[in-house]
Amino acid sequence: MESRQLKQVRIGLCGLGTVGAGTVNILQNNLAEITARSGCNVSITHIGARRENPLCNTGSIKISSDIFAVADDANVDILIELIGGTDAAYELVKRAIANGKHVVTANKALIAKHGNELFALAHTKGVTIAFEAAVAGGIPIIKALREGLAANRIEWLAGIINGTSNFILTEMRDKGRAFDDVLQEAQALGYAEVDPTFDVGGMDAGHKLVILASIAFGMPLNLDALNCEGITDIQPDDVRYAEELGYRIKSLGIARRTANGIELRVHPTLIPAKRLIANVHGVMNAILVKGNAVGPTLYYGPGAGSLPTASSVVADIIDIARSLDVPLAQRVPYLGVPNDQLKAQPILPMSEVETAYYLRMSAHDKPGVLSKIAQILSDAGISIEALIQKEPQEGHHQVPLIILTNRTLEKKMNAAVAQIEALNTIEGKISRMRVESLEG
């Protein structure tokens, strides 16, 4: 096949930051592979960016400072949205759709927040919106979930989908460091943003989880119902005690189908140290998916970065280029099932979520304290699965008391914790974290 016979596919690239530069570099460096695999001559014809990025060479490609000029360019077949945020990006994608262009985006916030509307618009115009790069960077998890596991009824998924949080937790465990200390290093290394709230507060993972859950359960995107807790309150003591109990603390995004509704939650979680996903370290991401036919499968790789994220952007480009004129009905639907087949499902409030618990409290070193606590838990129908009580440090009257419970509803645990905290033999607040066995 000679190159003059190849179909020309023209890319308009908006945003020339980290991922934009990576996309330019991959399209140049891996051109032979991309041409062979897509069967097309894929080339960037128009870039929308305020400035050049020294990390890539745009050569003679037309550059407009107005990104909307790219969306309006008749010489663009596929618009790549890599500007981020949900304001201009939202308007840009709408404009591209209105102009009948396919869209590829790495923007998790845009999809989680505006996906339902954008998919509806795209459907009326018969164009694709592809967003593999929006979740877990270079890991092809959207494709795995939407196509590779399409034969399954998905029961649950649990993912380490924020590299910054996982880096911090890994350092805390490996080196016994404190949260603030590691966060500062992560910021210096460029892993964490200057405002790290989205990462360590769980919302970044939350956006990704909302997208994964919609595909897993065939329901519209539901960002409003997301339950989200960060890792900022985890103490080095918690990391150490978890280890002692045979667990590791990971910030997980969890989506689970239950008889009463869907669980949709991001929070620090104790998981058994022997699970493969407990051994995912540093900035790496991994998603564990349980299907009713396949059982457990796991997908691991870099969750961020210029080339890894651009790897997913370009994979989406290849998919679209190969089948540029195939009607929508014969393509994979945006969320795995056609828009009109998505079924809204109730999302459980956290009070109705059932998990096991890790509790850490500071108790007076006196007879009868433990029996009182055990009585409160027992009255609430909560049993103690494991317990660590340490001797008091010299000159102290408090002892740390660590309890692992069986599974219980969060509202029951809330009530029990309030009762325990009200005991005059307990100092201050109880630290608690949810525990998941992640059994396949």
Q: Is 197 in the site for its own copies (CB under 8 A)?
A: no
The single residue among 45, 86, 99, 152 that binds its own copies, judged by CB under 8 A, is: 152
Own/partner pairs for 189-193, CB < 8 Å, 24+ apart?
Answer: 191/163, 191/164, 191/167, 191/283, 192/164, 192/168
**Do residues 301 and 136 touch, judged by C-beta distance below 8 A?**
yes
Q: Is 177 helix (H, G, I), strand (E, B) or coil?
A: coil
Q: Is 122 in the site for its own copies (CB under 8 A)?
A: no
Size, binding site for its own copies by CB under 8 A: 68
C-beta of 18 vs 311, nearer to its own copies = 311
H helix count then E strand count, the chain? 14, 17
What does DSSP assign to residue 159? E
Q: Is 176 in the site for its own copies (CB under 8 A)?
A: no
C-beta of 24 vs 433, nearer to its own copies = 24
**Do residues 263 and 348 touch, judged by C-beta distance below 8 A?**
yes
CA separation for the pair 219, 223 (Å, rounded): 12
Q: Is 147 in the site for its own copies (CB under 8 A)?
A: yes
Q: Is 202 in the site for its own copies (CB under 8 A)?
A: no
Q: What are phi and psi of 411, to 5 degrees?
A: -65, -35
Q: Is 276 in the site for its own copies (CB under 8 A)?
A: yes
Q: Is 120 in the site for its own copies (CB under 8 A)?
A: no
Listed ranges 59-67, 103-111, 336-344, 431-439: which one lies at the site for its own copies (CB under 8 A): 336-344
Q: Is 353 in the site for its own copies (CB under 8 A)?
A: no
CA separation for the pair 35, 42 (Å, rounded): 7
Active site residue 208: yes
Where b means 16+ CB within 10 Å and e means fewer, 252-283 reads bbbbbbeeebbbbbbbbbbbbeebebbebeeb
Q: Is 303 in the site for its own copies (CB under 8 A)?
A: no
C-beta of 34 vs 380, nearer to its own copies = 34
Q: Of 208, 290, 390, 412, which is the active-site residue?
A: 208
Q: Is 159 in the site for its own copies (CB under 8 A)?
A: no
Instruction: State the burial class of residue 374 (Cβ atoms within 10 Å of its Cβ: 0-12, 13-18, 19+).
Output: middle
Residues in the site for its own copies, rule: CB under 8 A?
1, 22, 26, 29-30, 33-34, 36-39, 132, 138-140, 143-144, 147-153, 218, 276, 279-280, 286, 291-302, 305, 307-308, 310-315, 317-319, 322-326, 329-333, 336-338, 340-341
Q: Give catalytic residues, as residue numbers.
A: 208
